[in-house]
């Protein structure tokens, strides 16, 4: 306490122009404590002129105003009394701020002192000196909390962390703020009368670009009583936290969290011998990052272990080589490996990566269990910093050195990645590097004192947890560690599987067009750990994410909307983990992922633009409509829009109640590009070989939808026509009732040149399907002048004009009539080669002007309006004040 006689001795009046610090003291129902607060300000030493502004917030006790008036009479020009109707703590502080800004033109700083707290005589001098010495972007300095009444002393030391402030208020209201911070209109929220208004104030300041700075040995005295406004607020904590999170959603936006983590709390420490430094990064693909010497990185890690709430060091250590990260980046799987590795580290102490080369055009990620026998040659190893630090403190290195054994003592997990690469990248270097680092940390740990680094207590959570805590606050698991790339937007395609089929060709082409438009494109598979990955994949996608075994198969079929399934994949930790992957996107297109339906509404609330992708209306064994359009209709409210590939599908959606303005027609085009010369050669060859037997092709999946039983009957009954048949395809879905076709089934063909050769060989393509969307095989065959005969299902009639550029067999007739229609058309074309040539030429001419960029133009323009290409990144920090 200051010298009471000095503080109560009359002083010479100060002029308003001399005041450099204003202390605002809201006063309500504490007249017995108010004098101590005022006198502690009047007793400040080595400080420029200070004014005390007491704001009587409609206090029912007349002693409150009388105390202020008596001290104002003793200290004219230093103590001021403002009276107002009761409006709460925020309103009282704001009244004091407004008065100080108007009354004291030379005032450089303000301090908010509650009427039951006190200041050490040197507090304001220290705070003002710290503000003067701080960079312009520092808007306030905050103290430790030294109790009186209670016995605790709490530290708030360490560098200021916005991430930590998002989930823990460690900045006392009794901080000293720069005048510039409040003279632009920043105020306390007067609607927050139940508490946390000071936390809201600091977050609002941070949202404007200001940052705080810790003031060590400040001398702030906090009166601790078991019942207070703070204790009342804590009882309402969940309610008040929800209010804060909604109000400061921009600070909690996933992109902002990632960017802020890159600045102050990177998640990974990359140990690579070819770099010579330890690189601290939030995104393993980002070239930038804080680079530390090995010794300095160890000192940082040690400090973080000793003062976990004040010092940050990446929670995850990665031991690898640059060539391995380059390989993973080139393959588009780097972020997937790190995300899965972090997830596995919840249970495991070490995660090892195995890369298995394959000659197949595929990519797969497996999680077979412990990494027994795989750690010694793993090209990449992940470990928690805490685990390595604890191992370094073990007097015996036997535990960690057992990683070299076939069955290590630590808990390990293996990530097995199957890639079309020439070698496995196996290397002994990562494990050797890890063991050397553990030994070096052991030497460092033995040199350090075992005494606590700070005698004050800590109430903040560890900084290693603060990103995860912020993610959890908005309902997310770990965010995919991929930072925004300046000038590019991110769009994802969510599917349950990805094989060599027509739908996947559509996605590949749409993604390739968007990528050329400047988007970063990402394939996300929820439900399978394997995809087919052809030669056209790298041009379509920047990255791939495979997720399975997370509970995504939880579906209720018995109570869905008009028989559609309902996804129960929501609310679990696994669902939050998947949301963490998707939340880093600007736009997400859900293509037939039923599990993903449960995630769309949460994503949309986070600001991600959500679209559905519909390709066909499926039918059951009795012809009943079912499938993804019904699911889409039931979840329509969670989407910004829906892409459809046909007018028929658009009309169905409108009839199902989906607003027409939400629908975007993106018609299909051929699944791959070809050269005009190939088309000309195919057309010419058919003219030259008009006397050969008619050559007929079936190309597609070998399943019930494609009408294999019909195909078998057509092949069998067409023998007398002397046709040459080829059947190319494979089963994608298990079907034990495939009929015998009577001709060999050739394996599927995927390469464009091989497909062109098939279409050029064929005079006719038959497609006796039971339901379809707009099959790419029809468009590709037509482009090569191959005449198509197809059942008039789905939207096939939108790409075939009957007897002009193809033939449609009516579908709503008995099976025998359908088969007879195919046979009659085949006989007609076998006989009339002139008509065959005319039909083929007409189809080729129409398809010549059909391209994906043109088909997608309207949708891409719409995306540009929703997510402008030149908009500021949502991950960027708010601009610092000028």
Q: What is the pLDDT of residues 53-89, one digit of tens each?
A: 999 999 999 999 999 999 999 999 999 999 999 999 9
Per-residue confidence (pLDDT) for residue 835, from 0 to 100: 94
Q: How confident is the model at residue 735 (pLDDT cuts 50, 70, 90)?
A: low
pLDDT, residue 227, reads 60
Return the exposure string of 758-789: e unless at least 16 CB atoms fall within 10 Å of the residue's CB, then b. bbbbbbbbbbbbbbbbbbbbbbbbbbbbbbbb
H/E stretch holding 177: strand 176-178
Q: Looking at residue 761, what is its pLDDT?
A: 95
pLDDT of 877 > 70? The answer is no
Query: DSSP strand E in 282-379: where?
Result: 290-292, 316-319, 350-357, 362-369
Q: Which is more confident, 347 or 235?
A: 347
Q: What percent of the chain has pLDDT over 70?
A: 94
- Half-sphere exposure at residue 72, Cβ-oriented, CA atoms within 13 angstroms: 14
Q: How far apart are CA 488 and CA 587, in angstroms?
A: 12
CA distance 497 to 476: 24
| Whole-structure pTM value | 0.90
Cα separation, 368 vs 679, whole angstroms = 48
CA distance 502 to 700: 8
Which of 8-22, 321-335, 451-465 has the lowest average pLDDT? 8-22
Per-residue confidence (pLDDT) for residue 228, from 0 to 100: 61
**Under 8 Å CB-to-CB from 379, ≥6 apart: which residues?**
320, 321, 324, 353, 355, 424, 425, 426, 427, 430
d(C-alpha 719, C-alpha 712), whole Å = 12
Averaged pLDDT for residues 413-434: 95
| pLDDT computed for residue 800 by the predictor | 94
pLDDT surpassing 80 at residue 880: no
> What tens digit of pLDDT does each residue of 493-548 get?
999 999 878 889 999 999 999 999 999 999 999 999 999 998 889 999 999 999 99
> What is the per-residue pLDDT across 246-300, written as a single tens digit (0 to 9) for each?
999 999 999 999 999 999 999 999 999 988 899 999 999 988 889 999 999 999 9
**467: its two tokens:** 């990103």
Chain centroid offset of residue 363 CA: 22
User: Which residues 6+ apart lie within 8 Å of 194 measured at CB?
Assistant: 232, 233, 236, 239, 240
CA 343 to chain centre: 15
Q: According to the model, what pLDDT value does residue 871 have?
A: 62
- Run of H or E including 660: none
Better-scored residue on pLDDT, 484 or 566: 484
pLDDT of residue 874: 43
Provide DSSP, 21-56.
EEEEEEESS-TTTHHHHHHHHHT--S---EEEEEEE
Contacts of 350 (CB under 8 A, 6+ apart): 371, 375, 381, 382, 383, 387, 403, 408, 410, 411, 412, 413
Q: What's the mean pLDDT when you consider all of the chain?
A: 91
Burial class (CB in 10 A: 0-12, 13-18, 19+), 190: middle
At 574-616, the pLDDT tens digits run 999 999 999 999 999 999 999 999 999 999 999 999 999 998 7
Statement: residue 5 has pLDDT above 50? no
Q: Is-contact 96 22, C-beta < 8 A?
A: yes
**CA distances (Å), origin 464, targets 229, 309, 313, 381, 469:** 31, 8, 7, 19, 10
**Which tens digit of pLDDT belongs to each residue from 759-813?**
999 999 999 999 888 888 999 999 999 999 999 998 899 999 999 999 999 999 9
365 φ, ψ to 5°? -125, 125
Report, in angstroms and rounded to the nearest whole number, the Rg of the chain calculated over CA atoms: 35
Please tell me the number of Cα atoms within 13 Å of 791 on its side-chain side.
24
What pLDDT score was predicted for residue 722? Answer: 92
CA dihedral (385, 387, 391, 392) in degrees, to 10, reads 20
- CATH number for the domain formed by residue range(s) 676-850: 3.40.50.2000
pLDDT-derived band at 870, boundaries 50, 70, 90: confident
Give the C-alpha separation, 27 to 65, whole Å. Answer: 9
Tens of pLDDT, residues 432-446: 999 999 999 999 999
Judged by DSSP in three states, 508 sits in helix
Q: Is the pLDDT of residue 567 over 90?
A: no
Ramachandran quadrant class, 196 (left: phi over 0; alpha: psi -120 to 50; beta: rest): left
- Res 876: pLDDT: 36
| Sequence-ordered strand ranges (E) for 390-488 | 412-419
Give yes or no for a contact between 792 and 786, defined as CB atoms under 8 angstroms apart: no
Give yes or no for residue 882 having a pLDDT over 70: no
Q: What region, left, alpha or beta, does residue 742 occupy, with left being phi > 0 and alpha being psi -120 to 50 degrees?
A: left
For tokens 């009282």, name the residue.
92
552 or 82: which leads in pLDDT: 82
Which residue ranges make up each domain of the chain? 4-247, 254-473, 489-665, 676-850
Question: By the 8 A CB rule, do 681 and 753 touch?
Answer: no
pLDDT (mean) for 869-873: 65
Q: Which CATH class is domain 489-665?
A: alpha beta
Q: How far is CA 575 from the centre of its chain?
A: 13
Mean pLDDT along residues 147-172:
93
Answer with the residue of higher pLDDT: 125 or 882. Answer: 125
Which whole number is the average pLDDT over 409-423? 96
pLDDT of res. 881: 38
Q: What is the fold, at CATH topology level, of the domain defined by 4-247?
A: Spore Coat Polysaccharide Biosynthesis Protein SpsA; Chain A (3.90.550)
Q: Tens of pLDDT along 640-682?
A: 999 999 998 999 999 999 999 999 999 999 988 888 999 899 8
pLDDT digits (tens, 9 = 90+) for 824-833: 999 999 999 9
Is there a shared CATH topology between the 489-665 domain and the 676-850 domain?
Answer: yes
Q: Are strands 176-178 and 109-112 parallel, antiparallel or unpaired?
A: antiparallel
Q: Is the pLDDT of residue 491 over 60?
A: yes
- H or E element in which residue 371 lies: none
Distance between CA atoms of 705 and 711, rounded to whole angstroms?
11
The phi and psi torsions of 81 (rounded to 5 degrees) equal -115, 125
> Rounded to whole angstroms, how far apart are CA atoms 10 and 76?
8
> Residue 166: which residues within 8 A CB-CB, separation 6 or more?
203, 248, 251, 252, 466, 469, 470, 473
Given a cut of 90, whether residue 617 has pLDDT beyond it is no
Residue 3 has pLDDT above 50, yes or no: no
**Exposure of 823 by Cβ count < 10 A (0-12 exposed, 13-18 middle, 19+ buried)?**
middle
Cβ–Cβ under 8 Å, residues 601 and 638 = yes
Contact 213/134 with Cβ under 8 angstroms? yes
Q: Is the pLDDT of residue 627 over 80?
A: no
Q: Which residue has the tokens 């037509």?
A: 782
């Amino acid at each position: 306490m200051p010298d009471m006689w000095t503080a109560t001795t009359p002083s010479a009046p100060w002029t308003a122009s001399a005041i450099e610090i204003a202390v605002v003291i809201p006063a309500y129902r504490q007249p017995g404590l108010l004098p101590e607060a005022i006198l502690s300000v009047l007793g400040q030493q080595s400080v420029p002129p200070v004014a005390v502004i007491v704001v009587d917030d409609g206090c029912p006790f007349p002693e409150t105003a009388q105390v202020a008036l008596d001290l104002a009479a003793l200290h004219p020009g230093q103590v001021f009394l403002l009276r107002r109707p009761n409006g709460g703590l925020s309103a009282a502080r704001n009244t004091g701020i407004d008065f100080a800004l108007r009354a004291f033109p030379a005032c450089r700083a303000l301090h908010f002192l509650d009427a039951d707290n006190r200041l050490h005589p040197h507090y304001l001098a220290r705070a003002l000196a710290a503000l003067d010495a701080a960079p312009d972007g520092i808007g306030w300095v905050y103290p430790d909390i030294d109790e009186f009444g209670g016995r605790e002393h709490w530290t708030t030391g360490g560098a200021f962390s916005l991430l930590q402030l998002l989930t823990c208020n460690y900045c006392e209201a009794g901080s000293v703020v720069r005048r510039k911070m409040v003279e632009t209109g920043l105020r306390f929220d007067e609607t927050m009368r139940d508490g946390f208004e000071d936390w809201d104030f600091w977050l609002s300041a941070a949202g404007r670009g200001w940052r705080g700075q810790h003031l060590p040995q400040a001398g702030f005295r906090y009166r601790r009583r078991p019942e207070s406004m703070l204790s009342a607020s804590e009882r309402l904590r969940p309610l008040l936290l929800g209010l804060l999170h909604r109000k400061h959603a921009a600070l909690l936006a996933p992109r902002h969290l990632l960017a802020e983590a890159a600045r102050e709390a990177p998640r990974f420490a990359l140990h690579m011998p070819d770099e010579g430094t330890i690189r601290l990064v939030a995104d393993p693909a980002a070239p930038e990052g804080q680079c530390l010497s090995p010794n300095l990185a160890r000192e940082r890690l040690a400090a973080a272990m000793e003062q976990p709430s004040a010092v940050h060091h990446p929670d995850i250590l990665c031991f690898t080589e640059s060539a391995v990260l380059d390989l993973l980046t080139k393959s588009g799987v780097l972020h997937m490996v790190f995300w899965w590795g972090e997830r596995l580290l919840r249970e495991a102490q070490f995660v090892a990566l195995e890369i298995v080369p394959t000659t197949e055009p595929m990519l797969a990620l497996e999680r077979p269990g412990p990494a027994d026998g795989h750690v010694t040659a793993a090209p990449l190893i992940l470990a928690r910093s805490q685990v390595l630090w604890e191992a370094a403190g073990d007097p015996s290195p036997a535990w960690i050195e057992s990683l070299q054994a076939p069955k290590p003592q630590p808990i390990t997990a293996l990530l097995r990645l199957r890639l079309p690469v020439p070698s496995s990248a196996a290397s002994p270097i990562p494990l050797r590097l890890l063991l050397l680092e553990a030994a070096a940390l052991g030497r460092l740990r033995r040199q350090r004192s075992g005494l606590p680094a700070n005698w004050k207590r800590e109430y903040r959570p560890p900084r290693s947890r603060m990103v995860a805590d912020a993610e959890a606050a908005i309902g997310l698991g770990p965010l995919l560690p991929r930072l925004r790339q300046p000038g590019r937007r991110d769009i994802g395609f969510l599917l349950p599987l990805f094989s060599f089929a027509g739908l996947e060709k559509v996605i590949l082409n749409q993604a390739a067009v968007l990528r050329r438009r400047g988007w970063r494109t990402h394939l996300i598979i929820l439900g399978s750990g394997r995809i087919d990955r052809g030669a056209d994949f790298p041009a379509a996608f920047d990255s791939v994410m495979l997720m399975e075994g997370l509970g995504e198969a939880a579906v209720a079929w018995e109570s869905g909307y008009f028989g559609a399934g309902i996804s129960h994949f929501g609310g679990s930790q696994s669902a939050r983990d998947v949301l963490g992957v998707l939340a880093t996107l600007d736009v997400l297109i859900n293509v037939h992922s039923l599990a993903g339906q449960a995630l769309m509404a949460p994503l949309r609330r986070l600001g991600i633009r959500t679209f559905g992708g519909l390709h066909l209306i499926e039918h059951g064994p009795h012809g009943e409509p079912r499938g993804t359009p019904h699911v889409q209709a039931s979840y329509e409210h969670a989407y910004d829009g829906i892409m459809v590939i046909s007018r028929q599908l658009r009309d169905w959606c409108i009839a199902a109640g989906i607003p027409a303005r939400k629908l975007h027609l993106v018609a299909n085009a051929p699944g791959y590009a070809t050269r005009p010369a190939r088309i000309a050669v195919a057309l010419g060859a058919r003219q030259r070989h008009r006397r050969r037997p008619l050559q007929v092709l079936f190309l597609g999946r070998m399943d019930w939808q494609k009408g294999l039983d019909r195909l078998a009957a057509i092949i069998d009954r067409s023998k007398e026509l002397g046709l040459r048949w080829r059947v190319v395809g494979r089963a994608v879905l298990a079907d034990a009732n495939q009929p015998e076709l009577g001709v060999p089934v050739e394996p599927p063909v995927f390469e464009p040149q091989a497909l062109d050769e098939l279409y050029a060989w064929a005079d006719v393509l038959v497609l006796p399907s039971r339901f379809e969307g707009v099959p790419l095989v029809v468009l590709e065959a037509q482009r090569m002048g191959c005449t198509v005969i197809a059942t008039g299902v789905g939207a096939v009639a939108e790409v075939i004009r009957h007897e002009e550029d193809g033939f449609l067999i009516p579908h709503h007739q008995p099976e025998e009539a359908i088969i007879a229609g195919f046979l009659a058309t085949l006989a007609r074309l076998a006989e009339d080669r002139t008509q065959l040539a005319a039909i083929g030429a007409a189809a080729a001419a129409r398809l010549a002007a059909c391209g994906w960029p043109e088909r997608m133009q309207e949708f891409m323009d719409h995306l540009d309006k929703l997510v402008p290409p030149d908009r500021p990144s949502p991950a960027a920090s708010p601009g610092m004040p000028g």
